[in-house]
Chains A and B, each alone.
Chain A
Amino acid sequence: MKEKEPIISVCNLTKKFGNFTAVDNITFEVGKGEIFGFLGANGAGKTTAIRMLCGLSFPTSGSGTVAGYDIMSQAEEIKRHIGYMSQKFSLYQDLTVWENLKLFSTIYGMTDREIKIKADMVFTTLGMADMRNALVKEIPLGWKQKLAFAAATMHSPDVVFLDEPTGGVDPATRRRFWEMIYQASSQGMTIFVTTHYLDEAEYCHRVSIMVDGHIRALDSPAMLKKQYHAATMDEVFRIIAQGAQRTD
Protein backbone atom coordinates (compact mmCIF):
# COMPACT_ATOMS: atom_id res chain seq x y z
CA MET A 1 0.00 0.00 0.00
CA LYS A 2 2.52 2.57 1.06
CA GLU A 3 4.45 2.45 -2.21
CA LYS A 4 1.47 4.23 -3.81
CA GLU A 5 1.59 8.03 -3.90
CA PRO A 6 1.03 9.41 -0.40
CA ILE A 7 -2.12 11.40 0.29
CA ILE A 8 -0.87 12.33 3.75
CA SER A 9 2.80 12.94 4.39
CA VAL A 10 4.16 14.46 7.60
CA CYS A 11 7.73 14.93 8.78
CA ASN A 12 8.86 15.65 12.36
CA LEU A 13 5.46 17.07 13.24
CA THR A 14 5.47 18.57 16.76
CA LYS A 15 2.89 20.46 18.79
CA LYS A 16 3.65 22.09 22.12
CA PHE A 17 1.26 23.72 24.56
CA GLY A 18 3.46 25.76 26.87
CA ASN A 19 6.07 23.29 28.07
CA PHE A 20 3.87 20.28 27.34
CA THR A 21 4.69 18.44 24.10
CA ALA A 22 1.39 16.91 22.99
CA VAL A 23 2.74 15.56 19.68
CA ASP A 24 6.46 14.86 19.64
CA ASN A 25 8.24 14.62 16.32
CA ILE A 26 6.01 12.25 14.38
CA THR A 27 6.77 11.20 10.80
CA PHE A 28 4.60 8.99 8.58
CA GLU A 29 2.88 8.66 5.22
CA VAL A 30 -0.54 7.35 4.24
CA GLY A 31 -1.07 6.02 0.70
CA LYS A 32 -4.02 6.76 -1.57
CA GLY A 33 -6.92 4.39 -0.94
CA GLU A 34 -5.38 3.08 2.25
CA ILE A 35 -7.34 2.35 5.43
CA PHE A 36 -5.00 3.75 8.06
CA GLY A 37 -5.71 3.05 11.74
CA PHE A 38 -4.41 5.79 14.04
CA LEU A 39 -4.36 4.14 17.46
CA GLY A 40 -3.18 5.24 20.86
CA ALA A 41 -4.15 5.43 24.50
CA ASN A 42 -6.33 8.33 25.72
CA GLY A 43 -4.06 11.33 26.05
CA ALA A 44 -1.38 9.99 23.68
CA GLY A 45 -1.82 12.98 21.35
CA LYS A 46 -4.10 11.55 18.64
CA THR A 47 -6.67 14.33 18.66
CA THR A 48 -3.97 17.03 18.59
CA ALA A 49 -2.34 15.30 15.61
CA ILE A 50 -5.65 14.95 13.75
CA ARG A 51 -6.44 18.64 14.31
CA MET A 52 -3.15 19.55 12.61
CA LEU A 53 -3.85 17.18 9.70
CA CYS A 54 -7.30 18.74 9.22
CA GLY A 55 -5.99 22.31 9.14
CA LEU A 56 -7.59 23.22 12.47
CA SER A 57 -4.35 23.81 14.34
CA PHE A 58 -0.79 24.70 13.27
CA PRO A 59 2.22 22.62 14.28
CA THR A 60 4.89 24.15 16.49
CA SER A 61 7.48 22.64 14.15
CA GLY A 62 7.75 20.09 11.39
CA SER A 63 6.06 19.97 8.02
CA GLY A 64 3.50 18.03 6.06
CA THR A 65 0.98 17.84 3.26
CA VAL A 66 -2.58 16.53 3.19
CA ALA A 67 -4.28 15.92 -0.18
CA GLY A 68 -1.42 17.82 -1.79
CA TYR A 69 -1.73 20.97 0.35
CA ASP A 70 0.73 22.29 2.90
CA ILE A 71 -0.46 22.10 6.50
CA MET A 72 1.33 25.36 7.39
CA SER A 73 0.30 27.62 4.52
CA GLN A 74 -2.78 26.01 2.92
CA ALA A 75 -5.05 25.06 5.83
CA GLU A 76 -8.18 26.38 4.09
CA GLU A 77 -7.53 24.28 0.96
CA ILE A 78 -7.03 21.22 3.17
CA LYS A 79 -10.40 21.76 4.84
CA ARG A 80 -12.08 21.80 1.43
CA HIS A 81 -10.48 18.55 0.30
CA ILE A 82 -11.06 16.36 3.33
CA GLY A 83 -14.07 14.88 5.08
CA TYR A 84 -14.41 14.64 8.86
CA MET A 85 -16.75 12.62 11.02
CA SER A 86 -16.77 12.03 14.75
CA GLN A 87 -19.15 10.09 16.98
CA LYS A 88 -19.70 13.12 19.16
CA PHE A 89 -21.09 15.60 16.68
CA SER A 90 -21.86 15.17 13.06
CA LEU A 91 -25.54 15.60 12.28
CA TYR A 92 -28.31 18.07 13.09
CA GLN A 93 -30.95 16.07 14.95
CA ASP A 94 -33.79 18.47 14.10
CA LEU A 95 -33.17 18.44 10.36
CA THR A 96 -34.29 15.67 8.02
CA VAL A 97 -31.94 13.18 6.39
CA TRP A 98 -32.08 15.12 3.12
CA GLU A 99 -31.64 18.53 4.81
CA ASN A 100 -28.50 17.30 6.57
CA LEU A 101 -26.96 16.09 3.32
CA LYS A 102 -27.88 19.34 1.60
CA LEU A 103 -26.48 21.48 4.40
CA PHE A 104 -23.11 19.76 4.52
CA SER A 105 -22.78 19.66 0.72
CA THR A 106 -23.60 23.35 0.44
CA ILE A 107 -20.99 24.21 3.05
CA TYR A 108 -18.49 22.32 0.89
CA GLY A 109 -19.48 24.48 -2.08
CA MET A 110 -21.38 21.92 -4.15
CA THR A 111 -24.03 23.27 -6.55
CA ASP A 112 -27.71 22.29 -6.18
CA ARG A 113 -27.43 20.15 -9.30
CA GLU A 114 -24.34 18.30 -8.02
CA ILE A 115 -26.00 17.78 -4.66
CA LYS A 116 -29.14 16.32 -6.22
CA ILE A 117 -27.20 13.84 -8.37
CA LYS A 118 -24.91 12.77 -5.54
CA ALA A 119 -27.73 12.54 -2.98
CA ASP A 120 -29.79 10.28 -5.27
CA MET A 121 -26.72 8.06 -5.61
CA VAL A 122 -26.19 7.99 -1.83
CA PHE A 123 -29.85 7.16 -1.13
CA THR A 124 -29.69 4.25 -3.59
CA THR A 125 -26.35 2.82 -2.43
CA LEU A 126 -27.27 3.03 1.23
CA GLY A 127 -30.87 1.92 0.68
CA MET A 128 -32.09 5.03 2.51
CA ALA A 129 -34.55 6.42 -0.03
CA ASP A 130 -37.51 5.80 2.31
CA MET A 131 -35.88 7.85 5.05
CA ARG A 132 -35.23 10.92 2.97
CA ASN A 133 -37.76 13.06 4.85
CA ALA A 134 -37.37 11.53 8.31
CA LEU A 135 -35.95 13.67 11.11
CA VAL A 136 -32.47 12.50 12.04
CA LYS A 137 -33.39 12.17 15.72
CA GLU A 138 -36.04 9.61 14.76
CA ILE A 139 -33.88 7.21 12.73
CA PRO A 140 -32.00 4.26 14.25
CA LEU A 141 -28.36 4.72 15.25
CA GLY A 142 -27.03 2.43 12.51
CA TRP A 143 -28.64 4.70 9.90
CA LYS A 144 -27.41 7.84 11.61
CA GLN A 145 -23.89 6.54 11.31
CA LYS A 146 -24.26 5.75 7.62
CA LEU A 147 -25.77 9.18 7.09
CA ALA A 148 -22.96 10.91 9.00
CA PHE A 149 -20.43 9.12 6.81
CA ALA A 150 -22.38 10.09 3.68
CA ALA A 151 -22.54 13.74 4.83
CA ALA A 152 -18.78 13.74 5.43
CA THR A 153 -18.06 12.32 1.97
CA MET A 154 -20.72 13.93 -0.29
CA HIS A 155 -18.10 16.26 -1.77
CA SER A 156 -15.89 13.26 -2.73
CA PRO A 157 -12.91 14.20 -0.54
CA ASP A 158 -9.51 12.59 -1.17
CA VAL A 159 -9.27 11.57 2.45
CA VAL A 160 -11.82 11.22 5.23
CA PHE A 161 -10.91 11.45 8.94
CA LEU A 162 -13.06 9.29 11.20
CA ASP A 163 -12.52 10.08 14.87
CA GLU A 164 -13.88 7.17 16.94
CA PRO A 165 -16.78 6.68 14.52
CA THR A 166 -17.99 3.56 16.36
CA GLY A 167 -17.62 4.67 20.01
CA GLY A 168 -20.34 3.12 22.17
CA VAL A 169 -21.87 1.33 19.20
CA ASP A 170 -22.97 -2.30 19.51
CA PRO A 171 -21.07 -5.12 17.74
CA ALA A 172 -23.62 -5.70 14.98
CA THR A 173 -23.91 -2.00 14.05
CA ARG A 174 -20.14 -1.50 14.17
CA ARG A 175 -19.68 -4.19 11.56
CA ARG A 176 -22.17 -2.66 9.16
CA PHE A 177 -20.30 0.61 9.45
CA TRP A 178 -16.98 -1.02 8.63
CA GLU A 179 -18.39 -2.59 5.47
CA MET A 180 -19.12 0.94 4.29
CA ILE A 181 -15.50 1.87 4.99
CA TYR A 182 -14.28 -1.10 2.94
CA GLN A 183 -16.52 -0.03 0.09
CA ALA A 184 -15.29 3.59 0.14
CA SER A 185 -11.68 2.41 0.28
CA SER A 186 -12.17 0.06 -2.67
CA GLN A 187 -13.38 3.09 -4.63
CA GLY A 188 -10.13 4.91 -3.93
CA MET A 189 -10.99 7.03 -0.90
CA THR A 190 -8.34 7.19 1.81
CA ILE A 191 -9.61 6.42 5.31
CA PHE A 192 -7.84 7.75 8.40
CA VAL A 193 -9.58 6.24 11.41
CA THR A 194 -9.20 6.13 15.20
CA THR A 195 -10.84 3.49 17.38
CA HIS A 196 -10.65 1.85 20.80
CA TYR A 197 -12.11 -1.40 19.46
CA LEU A 198 -8.98 -3.34 18.65
CA ASP A 199 -10.74 -5.92 16.50
CA GLU A 200 -11.33 -2.97 14.16
CA ALA A 201 -7.59 -2.36 14.00
CA GLU A 202 -7.34 -5.73 12.23
CA TYR A 203 -9.41 -4.33 9.35
CA CYS A 204 -6.90 -1.57 8.59
CA HIS A 205 -4.20 -1.93 5.94
CA ARG A 206 -1.70 -0.34 8.32
CA VAL A 207 -1.92 1.01 11.85
CA SER A 208 0.20 3.33 13.94
CA ILE A 209 0.22 3.25 17.73
CA MET A 210 0.91 6.50 19.61
CA VAL A 211 2.29 6.57 23.13
CA ASP A 212 3.14 9.78 25.02
CA GLY A 213 3.18 11.91 21.86
CA HIS A 214 5.38 9.52 19.84
CA ILE A 215 4.50 6.96 17.18
CA ARG A 216 5.85 3.79 18.78
CA ALA A 217 4.80 1.31 16.09
CA LEU A 218 3.66 1.51 12.49
CA ASP A 219 3.01 -1.45 10.22
CA SER A 220 0.36 -3.82 8.91
CA PRO A 221 -1.55 -5.70 11.63
CA ALA A 222 -0.01 -8.99 10.42
CA MET A 223 3.54 -7.65 10.71
CA LEU A 224 2.91 -6.05 14.11
CA LYS A 225 1.49 -9.30 15.49
CA LYS A 226 4.53 -11.14 14.19
CA GLN A 227 6.97 -8.59 15.59
CA TYR A 228 5.39 -8.62 19.06
CA HIS A 229 4.64 -12.37 19.08
CA ALA A 230 0.98 -11.59 19.68
CA ALA A 231 -2.16 -13.39 18.50
CA THR A 232 -4.32 -10.27 18.23
CA MET A 233 -3.99 -6.50 17.83
CA ASP A 234 -5.42 -6.22 21.32
CA GLU A 235 -2.27 -7.90 22.68
CA VAL A 236 -0.01 -5.76 20.49
CA PHE A 237 -1.71 -2.61 21.78
CA ARG A 238 -1.40 -3.68 25.41
CA ILE A 239 2.31 -4.49 25.03
CA ILE A 240 3.03 -1.11 23.43
CA ALA A 241 0.65 1.14 25.42
CA GLN A 242 1.23 -0.50 28.81
CA GLY A 243 4.38 1.53 29.42
CA ALA A 244 2.69 4.89 28.79
CA GLN A 245 3.94 7.54 31.22
CA ARG A 246 1.27 10.01 30.33
CA THR A 247 -1.98 9.20 32.04
CA ASP A 248 -4.60 10.98 30.10
Chain B
Amino acid sequence: MNNAIEIRNITKRFGNLAALDNVTFSVPDGSVFGLIGPDGAGKTTLYSILATLLAPDSGRATVAGLDVIKDFKRLRSAIGYMPERFSLYPDLTVSENLHFFASLFGVRVEDNFDLIAPIFGQLAKFPHRMAAALSGGMKQKLALSCALIHRPKVLLLDEPTTGVDAVSRSEFWEMLATLKQKGITILVSTSYMDEAERCDRIALINKGHILDVDAPGKLVDKTGIDIYNASAREMYPLLQAIRNIDGVKDCYTFGATLHLATDKNFNLENAIGRLRQEGLTDARIYPAKGNIEDLFIKLAKE
Protein backbone atom coordinates (compact mmCIF):
# COMPACT_ATOMS: atom_id res chain seq x y z
CA MET B 1 0.00 0.00 0.00
CA ASN B 2 1.23 3.48 -0.86
CA ASN B 3 1.10 6.50 1.36
CA ALA B 4 -1.03 9.42 0.26
CA ILE B 5 0.90 11.72 2.57
CA GLU B 6 4.57 11.32 3.58
CA ILE B 7 6.03 13.70 6.11
CA ARG B 8 9.75 13.38 6.89
CA ASN B 9 11.56 15.46 9.53
CA ILE B 10 9.57 18.62 8.92
CA THR B 11 10.61 21.60 11.04
CA LYS B 12 9.11 25.07 10.93
CA ARG B 13 10.12 27.93 13.22
CA PHE B 14 8.53 31.30 13.81
CA GLY B 15 11.23 33.33 15.55
CA ASN B 16 12.23 31.32 18.62
CA LEU B 17 9.15 29.14 18.52
CA ALA B 18 9.39 25.74 16.84
CA ALA B 19 5.81 25.35 15.60
CA LEU B 20 6.79 21.96 14.13
CA ASP B 21 9.86 20.16 15.43
CA ASN B 22 11.14 17.27 13.31
CA VAL B 23 7.71 15.89 12.48
CA THR B 24 7.56 12.50 10.73
CA PHE B 25 4.54 10.34 9.89
CA SER B 26 2.69 8.93 6.93
CA VAL B 27 -0.96 8.63 5.98
CA PRO B 28 -1.89 5.43 4.10
CA ASP B 29 -3.79 5.70 0.83
CA GLY B 30 -7.54 5.67 1.24
CA SER B 31 -7.61 6.15 5.02
CA VAL B 32 -9.26 8.66 7.33
CA PHE B 33 -6.41 9.98 9.43
CA GLY B 34 -6.91 12.23 12.48
CA LEU B 35 -4.53 14.94 13.64
CA ILE B 36 -5.26 15.39 17.33
CA GLY B 37 -3.70 17.96 19.65
CA PRO B 38 -4.42 21.00 21.83
CA ASP B 39 -4.56 24.56 20.49
CA GLY B 40 -1.14 25.78 19.50
CA ALA B 41 0.16 22.23 18.89
CA GLY B 42 1.15 23.03 15.30
CA LYS B 43 -1.78 21.46 13.42
CA THR B 44 -2.64 24.47 11.26
CA THR B 45 1.05 25.07 10.43
CA LEU B 46 1.26 21.48 9.20
CA TYR B 47 -1.86 21.93 7.06
CA SER B 48 -0.36 25.09 5.55
CA ILE B 49 2.81 23.21 4.61
CA LEU B 50 0.89 20.29 3.07
CA ALA B 51 -1.30 22.74 1.14
CA THR B 52 1.91 24.47 -0.14
CA LEU B 53 0.98 27.79 1.43
CA LEU B 54 4.04 27.75 3.67
CA ALA B 55 7.50 26.28 3.09
CA PRO B 56 9.12 24.20 5.85
CA ASP B 57 12.55 25.27 7.19
CA SER B 58 13.78 21.72 6.74
CA GLY B 59 12.50 18.24 6.00
CA ARG B 60 10.46 16.83 3.13
CA ALA B 61 6.83 16.12 2.51
CA THR B 62 4.84 14.66 -0.34
CA VAL B 63 1.09 14.61 -0.93
CA ALA B 64 -0.29 12.22 -3.56
CA GLY B 65 3.31 11.50 -4.49
CA LEU B 66 4.07 15.16 -5.22
CA ASP B 67 6.72 17.17 -3.35
CA VAL B 68 5.41 20.21 -1.43
CA ILE B 69 8.29 22.37 -2.75
CA LYS B 70 9.26 21.06 -6.18
CA ASP B 71 5.83 20.02 -7.40
CA PHE B 72 3.74 22.63 -5.61
CA LYS B 73 1.75 23.65 -8.67
CA ARG B 74 0.66 20.14 -9.57
CA LEU B 75 0.14 19.30 -5.90
CA ARG B 76 -2.46 22.06 -5.54
CA SER B 77 -4.69 20.30 -8.09
CA ALA B 78 -4.35 16.98 -6.28
CA ILE B 79 -5.68 18.24 -2.95
CA GLY B 80 -8.88 19.72 -1.61
CA TYR B 81 -8.22 22.03 1.36
CA MET B 82 -10.80 23.29 3.82
CA PRO B 83 -9.14 25.69 6.25
CA GLU B 84 -10.43 26.35 9.74
CA ARG B 85 -11.97 29.67 8.72
CA PHE B 86 -14.43 29.32 5.89
CA SER B 87 -12.88 29.76 2.50
CA LEU B 88 -16.02 30.79 0.64
CA TYR B 89 -16.69 34.15 -0.96
CA PRO B 90 -19.52 35.58 1.18
CA ASP B 91 -20.87 37.86 -1.54
CA LEU B 92 -21.04 35.19 -4.21
CA THR B 93 -24.07 32.92 -4.33
CA VAL B 94 -24.02 29.18 -3.64
CA SER B 95 -23.88 28.41 -7.34
CA GLU B 96 -21.29 31.13 -8.09
CA ASN B 97 -18.96 29.82 -5.38
CA LEU B 98 -19.15 26.30 -6.77
CA HIS B 99 -18.58 27.41 -10.38
CA PHE B 100 -15.76 29.74 -9.32
CA PHE B 101 -13.84 26.93 -7.60
CA ALA B 102 -14.47 24.60 -10.53
CA SER B 103 -13.10 27.16 -13.00
CA LEU B 104 -9.98 27.71 -10.85
CA PHE B 105 -9.19 24.05 -11.29
CA GLY B 106 -10.21 23.97 -14.95
CA VAL B 107 -13.09 21.55 -14.50
CA ARG B 108 -16.84 21.78 -15.08
CA VAL B 109 -19.26 21.43 -12.17
CA GLU B 110 -21.24 18.81 -14.12
CA ASP B 111 -18.17 16.58 -14.60
CA ASN B 112 -17.74 15.86 -10.90
CA PHE B 113 -21.18 16.61 -9.55
CA ASP B 114 -21.75 12.92 -8.69
CA LEU B 115 -19.01 13.20 -6.06
CA ILE B 116 -20.55 16.14 -4.25
CA ALA B 117 -24.24 15.37 -4.86
CA PRO B 118 -24.81 13.71 -1.45
CA ILE B 119 -23.15 16.67 0.30
CA PHE B 120 -24.61 19.43 -1.84
CA GLY B 121 -28.10 17.96 -1.27
CA GLN B 122 -30.22 20.68 0.33
CA LEU B 123 -28.05 23.49 -1.06
CA ALA B 124 -29.38 22.69 -4.53
CA LYS B 125 -32.73 24.16 -3.39
CA PHE B 126 -31.35 27.70 -3.13
CA PRO B 127 -28.54 28.14 -5.65
CA HIS B 128 -28.98 31.93 -5.70
CA ARG B 129 -28.58 32.55 -1.97
CA MET B 130 -25.47 34.48 -0.94
CA ALA B 131 -22.93 32.35 0.91
CA ALA B 132 -22.95 34.98 3.68
CA ALA B 133 -26.64 34.26 4.30
CA LEU B 134 -26.09 30.52 4.88
CA SER B 135 -26.05 29.12 8.39
CA GLY B 136 -22.94 27.44 9.79
CA GLY B 137 -23.84 23.89 8.79
CA MET B 138 -24.77 24.90 5.25
CA LYS B 139 -21.58 26.94 4.80
CA GLN B 140 -19.65 23.89 5.90
CA LYS B 141 -21.36 21.72 3.28
CA LEU B 142 -20.77 24.30 0.55
CA ALA B 143 -17.11 24.68 1.55
CA LEU B 144 -16.68 20.90 1.41
CA SER B 145 -18.39 20.78 -2.00
CA CYS B 146 -16.04 23.50 -3.30
CA ALA B 147 -13.02 21.64 -1.92
CA LEU B 148 -14.12 18.48 -3.76
CA ILE B 149 -15.29 19.87 -7.10
CA HIS B 150 -12.02 19.04 -8.91
CA ARG B 151 -12.08 15.44 -7.56
CA PRO B 152 -8.90 15.66 -5.44
CA LYS B 153 -7.00 12.58 -4.32
CA VAL B 154 -6.40 13.94 -0.83
CA LEU B 155 -8.71 16.04 1.33
CA LEU B 156 -7.20 18.29 4.01
CA LEU B 157 -9.78 19.30 6.65
CA ASP B 158 -8.72 21.64 9.47
CA GLU B 159 -11.31 21.45 12.29
CA PRO B 160 -14.27 21.11 9.94
CA THR B 161 -16.87 20.51 12.67
CA THR B 162 -16.14 23.28 15.15
CA GLY B 163 -19.42 24.93 16.17
CA VAL B 164 -21.49 22.19 14.52
CA ASP B 165 -24.20 20.36 16.49
CA ALA B 166 -24.00 16.66 17.37
CA VAL B 167 -26.50 15.43 14.77
CA SER B 168 -24.90 17.40 11.92
CA ARG B 169 -21.45 16.21 13.02
CA SER B 170 -22.63 12.61 12.66
CA GLU B 171 -23.91 13.37 9.17
CA PHE B 172 -20.61 15.01 8.29
CA TRP B 173 -18.68 11.91 9.35
CA GLU B 174 -20.99 9.72 7.28
CA MET B 175 -20.11 11.91 4.28
CA LEU B 176 -16.42 11.39 5.03
CA ALA B 177 -17.00 7.62 5.10
CA THR B 178 -18.60 7.82 1.64
CA LEU B 179 -15.67 9.86 0.28
CA LYS B 180 -13.27 7.31 1.73
CA GLN B 181 -15.11 4.54 -0.13
CA LYS B 182 -14.51 6.49 -3.32
CA GLY B 183 -10.78 6.27 -2.63
CA ILE B 184 -10.18 9.77 -1.28
CA THR B 185 -7.64 10.02 1.55
CA ILE B 186 -8.66 12.35 4.35
CA LEU B 187 -6.48 14.17 6.89
CA VAL B 188 -8.75 15.74 9.51
CA SER B 189 -8.11 17.64 12.75
CA THR B 190 -10.72 17.92 15.50
CA SER B 191 -11.24 18.90 19.11
CA TYR B 192 -14.05 16.34 19.50
CA MET B 193 -12.62 13.10 20.86
CA ASP B 194 -15.60 11.03 19.69
CA GLU B 195 -14.52 12.00 16.16
CA ALA B 196 -10.94 10.97 16.88
CA GLU B 197 -12.29 7.51 17.63
CA ARG B 198 -13.89 7.35 14.17
CA CYS B 199 -10.52 7.70 12.39
CA ASP B 200 -8.58 4.70 11.04
CA ARG B 201 -5.41 6.08 12.56
CA ILE B 202 -4.52 9.19 14.51
CA ALA B 203 -1.38 11.18 15.22
CA LEU B 204 -1.17 12.85 18.61
CA ILE B 205 0.62 16.17 18.35
CA ASN B 206 1.66 18.60 21.10
CA LYS B 207 4.02 21.59 21.06
CA GLY B 208 5.20 20.74 17.56
CA HIS B 209 6.09 17.12 18.37
CA ILE B 210 4.36 13.95 17.23
CA LEU B 211 3.82 11.92 20.41
CA ASP B 212 2.48 8.76 18.80
CA VAL B 213 0.70 7.41 15.73
CA ASP B 214 -1.63 4.42 15.79
CA ALA B 215 -5.24 3.23 15.59
CA PRO B 216 -7.25 5.05 18.31
CA GLY B 217 -8.07 1.84 20.22
CA LYS B 218 -4.46 0.67 20.17
CA LEU B 219 -3.16 4.01 21.43
CA VAL B 220 -5.40 3.80 24.48
CA ASP B 221 -4.46 0.16 25.12
CA LYS B 222 -0.73 0.61 24.91
CA THR B 223 -0.64 3.79 26.98
CA GLY B 224 -2.47 1.80 29.67
CA ILE B 225 -4.38 4.56 31.35
CA ASP B 226 -6.04 3.14 34.43
CA ILE B 227 -8.58 5.51 35.79
CA TYR B 228 -11.29 5.67 38.42
CA ASN B 229 -14.76 7.10 38.13
CA ALA B 230 -16.17 9.20 40.96
CA SER B 231 -19.55 10.74 41.57
CA ALA B 232 -21.59 12.43 44.28
CA ARG B 233 -24.58 14.73 44.34
CA GLU B 234 -22.38 17.78 44.85
CA MET B 235 -19.79 17.45 42.10
CA TYR B 236 -17.72 20.63 42.53
CA PRO B 237 -16.86 20.04 46.24
CA LEU B 238 -16.10 16.42 45.29
CA LEU B 239 -13.67 17.56 42.60
CA GLN B 240 -11.86 19.82 45.05
CA ALA B 241 -11.74 17.17 47.79
CA ILE B 242 -10.41 14.43 45.50
CA ARG B 243 -7.55 16.62 44.30
CA ASN B 244 -6.18 16.64 47.87
CA ILE B 245 -6.15 12.84 48.21
CA ASP B 246 -2.81 10.98 48.20
CA GLY B 247 -2.00 9.25 44.93
CA VAL B 248 -4.36 11.34 42.80
CA LYS B 249 -2.33 12.74 39.90
CA ASP B 250 -5.25 14.42 38.21
CA CYS B 251 -8.99 14.73 38.63
CA TYR B 252 -11.29 16.22 35.99
CA THR B 253 -14.93 16.32 34.97
CA PHE B 254 -16.05 13.65 32.55
CA GLY B 255 -19.69 14.02 31.61
CA ALA B 256 -21.83 12.96 34.56
CA THR B 257 -18.85 11.70 36.60
CA LEU B 258 -15.31 12.69 37.52
CA HIS B 259 -12.27 10.80 36.28
CA LEU B 260 -9.23 10.24 38.49
CA ALA B 261 -5.75 9.49 37.19
CA THR B 262 -3.79 7.88 40.01
CA ASP B 263 -0.35 6.52 40.90
CA LYS B 264 0.75 3.67 43.18
CA ASN B 265 0.14 5.69 46.36
CA PHE B 266 -3.59 5.66 45.69
CA ASN B 267 -5.72 3.46 47.94
CA LEU B 268 -9.40 3.18 47.14
CA GLU B 269 -10.65 2.50 50.67
CA ASN B 270 -8.56 5.30 52.18
CA ALA B 271 -9.84 7.68 49.52
CA ILE B 272 -13.48 6.90 50.21
CA GLY B 273 -12.86 7.17 53.97
CA ARG B 274 -11.31 10.57 53.48
CA LEU B 275 -14.30 11.82 51.47
CA ARG B 276 -16.69 10.55 54.18
CA GLN B 277 -14.73 12.54 56.77
CA GLU B 278 -15.13 15.64 54.64
CA GLY B 279 -18.89 15.21 54.63
CA LEU B 280 -19.22 13.77 51.12
CA THR B 281 -21.16 10.80 52.46
CA ASP B 282 -22.69 9.79 49.14
CA ALA B 283 -19.38 9.82 47.21
CA ARG B 284 -18.60 6.73 45.12
CA ILE B 285 -15.28 5.81 43.49
CA TYR B 286 -14.84 2.77 41.24
CA PRO B 287 -12.37 1.55 38.58
CA ALA B 288 -13.14 2.37 34.95
CA LYS B 289 -11.58 2.15 31.52
CA GLY B 290 -9.96 5.23 30.06
CA ASN B 291 -10.62 6.31 26.48
CA ILE B 292 -8.98 8.59 23.94
CA GLU B 293 -10.14 11.70 25.80
CA ASP B 294 -8.40 10.56 29.00
CA LEU B 295 -5.28 9.87 26.97
CA PHE B 296 -5.45 13.35 25.47
CA ILE B 297 -5.82 15.02 28.87
CA LYS B 298 -2.91 13.01 30.22
CA LEU B 299 -0.68 14.01 27.31
CA ALA B 300 -1.75 17.66 27.41
CA LYS B 301 -0.69 17.80 31.06
CA GLU B 302 2.77 16.37 30.46
Residues of A within 8 A of B (CB): 40-43, 87, 140-142, 164, 167-173, 175, 178-179, 182-183, 186, 196-199, 202-203, 221-222, 232-234, 237-238, 241-242, 244, 247-248
Contacts and interface: CB of A to CB of B under 8 A. Distances in A.
Contacts of B137: 42-43, 247-248
Contacts of B256: 202, 221-222, 232-233
A155 B39 CA distance: 29
Given A178-B253, A248-B137, A171 B293 contact: yes
A247 B163 contact: no
A192 B38 CA distance: 26
Nearest to A44: B165
B40 A140 contact: yes
Given A42-B136, A186-B236, A248-B138, A168 B159 contact: yes
A87 B236 CA distance: 24
A241 B191 contact: no
Interface of B: 37-40, 84, 122, 135-138, 159, 162-170, 191-194, 235-236, 239, 252-256, 293, 296-297, 300-301
Nearest to B171: A247
B253 A41 contact: no
Nearest to A185: B236
6 contacts: A42-B164, A141-B40, A168-B39, A168-B162, A178-B253, A179-B253
Given A41-B168, A42-B137, A164-B163, A172 B296 contact: yes
Contacts of B235: 182, 203
Given A199-B255, A242-B167, A248-B135, A182 B236 contact: yes
B168 A248 contact: yes
B165 A42 contact: yes
B167 A248 contact: no
Contacts of A171: 191, 193, 293, 296-297, 300
A170 B191 contact: yes
A24 B193 CA distance: 34
Contacts of B37: 170
B166 A241 contact: yes
Q: Considering residues A87, A169, A247, which has the most beta carbons from chain B within 10 angstroms of its beta carbon?
A: A247
A167 B255 CA distance: 17
Contacts of B192: 197
A87 B167 CA distance: 21
A133 to B, nearest CB: 20
